[in-house]
Amino acid sequence: MSFQDLIPVVNKLQDIVTTTQVSDIDLPILAVVGSQSCGKSSVLENIVGKDFLPRGTGIVTRRPLVLQLININLEDHLRKMNGSTKSKKPSAEWGEFLHIPNKRFYNFSDIRREIENETLRIAGQNKGISRLPINLKIYSPNVLNLTLVDLPGLTKIPIGDQPTDIEKQTRSLILEYISKQNCIILAVSPANVDLVNSESLKLGDK
């Protein structure tokens, strides 16, 4: 069995872990780590080739986003949709959320809105964070089979009605993921920050 064959198995296990809230299973993950507003969203959107992540000031990613990229064969997809590859081309890229079974999001702006709404539903309005992840699958002929976890950005100073211990909360959540033996860290740093001062690289050394 190849590594590519194992990815769908890991994806199913991640869905089960999220649904049952079991925390002691160490699954392989690629964790995306960086300081607040460092460009994590841009990196992920470049990997996917679509704009679909919420943007804004302060902490935008307030729940871990388990992003499962699934490559589909375009001809097979068109054949299933229309019975012929010569028919009018339907959309071959869509997203599915674990918390909304059997619904496909073909408009990636709708995916962004659903991430925002689901974040507010669990994490609330006060810019706090939650450990409960959002699981999103993206099907496309333009992606590689890959699973990433986008984690809340590191922040130093609470703003507005953020919890006073927001730095401690974010560090604890990030370390919960990256301290696992089967975790690969994708550390994102702004281009204008010296690597020796990179917060994400410092965390990776711990």
CATH of the domain at 88: 3.40.50.300
Q: Which of 14-18, 80-84, 140-144, 148-152 has the lowest mean pLDDT?
A: 80-84
Looking at the structure of the chain, the number of domains it has is 1
Q: What is the mean pLDDT of the chain?
A: 84
Integer angstrom CA distances of residue 58 from 11, 79, 93, 158: 30, 45, 30, 9
CA 165 to mean position of chain CA atoms:
24
Instruction: Indicate the pTM of the whole model.
Output: 0.82
Range of the domain at 15: 3-205
- The pLDDT of residue 3 is 47
